[in-house]
Amino acid sequence: MAFWNRRRSIDLMTAPREGPALKKTLGWPHLLALGVGAIVGTGILTLIGVGAGLAGPGVMISFGLAGLVCACAALAYAELSTMMPAAGSAYTYSYAVLGEMLAWIVGWSLILEYSLVVSAVAVGWAGYAVGFLEGLGVTLPAALAAGPHVEGGLINLPAVAIIAVVTGLLLLGTRESATLNAVLVVVKIVALIVFVAIALPAFDPANFQPFLPNGWGAPTFPFQETLFGIPPVQTGVMAAAAIIFFAFYGFDAISTAAEETKNPGRDLAIGIVGSMVVCTILYMIVAAAAIGARPPAAFAESEEPLAFILRELGQGTAAQWIGASAVIALPTVLLAFLFGQSRIFLGMARDGLLPRGLAKVSSRGVPAVVTIFTAVVVAALAGVMRLDELASLANAGTLAAFFAVGLSLIVLRLREPNRPRVFRAPLFWLVGVICMVGCVVFFFSLRTQTQLWFLIWNAVGLVIYLVWSARNSRLARGEEPAA
């Protein structure tokens, strides 16, 4: 079988493994909290300002469009993850359905996604942390409070520090970190509810006019200005949706916990679909309250928009509390994505597509080597890059993974319609097509620079695959029969 078409057997993939294994310690409450913890974070606490700056009040539509695509992706993830409860997420499903080379591209894109999400959230957390400390009268030196993109900045030390703390927590064990995550998620949800309760009395319908000041925007195709003379349009509802998309994903981190779930057939579906429902409703309410309280232009440039709005309303104490809640609870997003990144590395290393030494599991049931390696990389990125750059490029990796999951859902339904499915996505054709089309439209709504960097990243990854990984995978070496 040609290397680009080699597929792993689903039955062998889910068979018991020899040697140290990940411990099954998680139930559906842990997974629901993991999903909500991953989804509710920098996206709503910070990027709502970026989205409002691009689309004005039309950011409400941006939230709806991003939520629709992510809801379809969540249904596809729920079906596939319960069929293939193995670490690796979209990479694993692609390997079994689409073949090794496409699986590599998806896995390589997921590495980009998870690494940059962790870095972006750390930068977002640092913005709230610096603001919170200033409220207490503590001012960090400019050189240590931001990266070199800010005048006088050298390194974002708070972002690096929080990544180190969360990494240490993950190394303690999965159940311990998941339990603390659940507690911090409650803190975060309560903070958003408090914001809505304070902001709603100041609701002014006039803030929603004009509703679409920058229009819908248009997809930006790679090199369109160079080749066709068409200048890119990078504002409007679609541009905001492509960025706000960052605010919704995170449920895919749940699928990386499949091997550590006590009852994956039931618990994964509850965690994935449940977290999306909870967060979509919450996001729409918070966005409406924020815009109703202040015109979008007023908070579009703020690094802590919700706290900024409360200060503008004369609620300084509440703003300080929101900032404190973000400082305490945003690390739940770091925890979820660092957790997921290490499990994707683990899956690829087990399959021989990455060095197998990365697949080592400690006596506590934690992939310690790859967790530490991941933390070093993302801390370096968080120390020097801007939030919007990180979020935009992370979205590109996610869109590639979600497209693959939507395609895998349709292909596997057609190829193996009688394979047992604990959870079946309704209207699978429609779900898969909406997921794929939405991902393509969002990708071409990203900045041209982001599209180019994504293509360069995958070109480098493809060279690595062709030179090394294609010859060293378990399937290539005959250590496991292909499907």
- Binned at pLDDT 50, 70 and 90, residue 466 comes out as very high
- Binned at pLDDT 50, 70 and 90, residue 229 comes out as very low
376: its two tokens? 């070093």
What are the tens digits of pLDDT across the range 72-106? 888 898 889 878 877 677 898 999 999 999 999 99
Which one, of 21, 34, 118, 20, lies nearest residue 81 by Cα?
34
Q: Per-residue pLDDT averaged across 158-182, rounded? A: 75
Q: Is the pLDDT of residue 427 over 50?
A: yes
| Contact indicator for 125, 331 with CB cutoff of 8 Å | yes
Say which range, 26-30, 224-228, 282-286, 297-301, has the weakest mean pLDDT.
224-228
What are the tens digits of pLDDT across the range 232-248? 546 778 878 877 776 77
Average confidence score pLDDT of the chain: 80
| Contact indicator for 65, 239 with CB cutoff of 8 Å | no
Mean pLDDT comparison of 6-10, 39-43, 427-431, highest-scoring range:
427-431
Whole-number percent of the chain with pLDDT over 70? 84
Q: Is the pLDDT of residue 110 over 80?
A: yes
Distance, CA of 33 to CA of 182 (rounded, Å): 5
Q: pLDDT value at position 360?
A: 76
- Binned at pLDDT 50, 70 and 90, residue 18 comes out as low
Q: Is the pLDDT of residue 151 over 60?
A: yes
Q: Is the pLDDT of residue 455 over 50?
A: yes
Q: pLDDT value at position 479?
A: 81
Vertex 301 angle, CA 186 and 141, to 5°: 80
Q: pLDDT value at position 68?
A: 85
Q: Is the pLDDT of residue 462 over 90?
A: yes
Q: Is residue 374 one of the residues assigned to a domain?
A: yes
| Contact indicator for 173, 364 with CB cutoff of 8 Å | yes
Q: Residues with Cβ < 8 Å from 376, sequence gap 6 or more?
A: none
Distance, CA of 171 to CA of 195 (rounded, Å): 34
Whole-number percent of the chain with pLDDT over 90? 12
Q: Is residue 44 one of the residues assigned to a domain?
A: yes
What are the tens digits of pLDDT across the range 333-377? 777 778 777 778 888 888 899 988 777 776 666 677 878 888 888
Q: Residues with Cβ < 8 Å from 163, sequence gap 6 or more?
A: 118, 122, 334, 338, 375, 378, 379, 382
Q: pLDDT value at position 353?
A: 92
What are the tens digits of pLDDT across the range 180-222? 667 777 777 888 888 899 998 988 898 888 888 877 765 555 5
Q: Is the pLDDT of residue 128 over 60?
A: yes
- Binned at pLDDT 50, 70 and 90, residue 410 comes out as very high
Say which range, 179-183, 324-328, 458-462, has the weakest mean pLDDT.
179-183
CA distances from 159 to 121, 131, 162, 320, 446 (A): 8, 13, 5, 20, 25
Question: pTM, whole model, 2 decimals?
Answer: 0.79
List, in sequence order, the alpha helices (H) in 294-367.
Answer: 296-299, 305-312, 316-329, 331-350
The Cβ-side half-sphere exposure at 14, using a 13 Å CA radius, reads 13
459: its two tokens? 């070109």
207: its two tokens? 């803030």
Q: Is the pLDDT of residue 319 over 60?
A: yes
CA distances from 161 to 148, 155, 279, 303, 439 (A): 17, 11, 28, 19, 33
Q: Is residue 337 one of the residues assigned to a domain?
A: yes
- Binned at pLDDT 50, 70 and 90, residue 230 comes out as very low
Q: pLDDT value at position 227?
A: 43
Of 61 and 393, more confident:
61
Q: Is residue 481 one of the residues assigned to a domain?
A: no
Q: pLDDT value at position 118?
A: 81
Question: Domain of 218: which CATH number?
Answer: 1.20.1740.10
- Binned at pLDDT 50, 70 and 90, residue 115 comes out as confident
Q: Is residue 435 one of the residues assigned to a domain?
A: yes
Q: Is residue 17 one of the residues assigned to a domain?
A: no
Q: Is the pLDDT of residue 391 over 80?
A: no
Domain count, the chain: 1
Q: pLDDT value at position 111?
A: 85
Angle between helical axes of 368-384 and 157-172 (0-180°, round to 10)? 170
Domain residues for the domain of 410 are 28-472
Q: Is residue 165 one of the residues assigned to a domain?
A: yes
Q: Is residue 113 one of the residues assigned to a domain?
A: yes
**Largest Cα–Cα distance of the chain, in whole Å?**
68
The number of helix segments (H) and strand segments (E) in the chain equals 23, 0
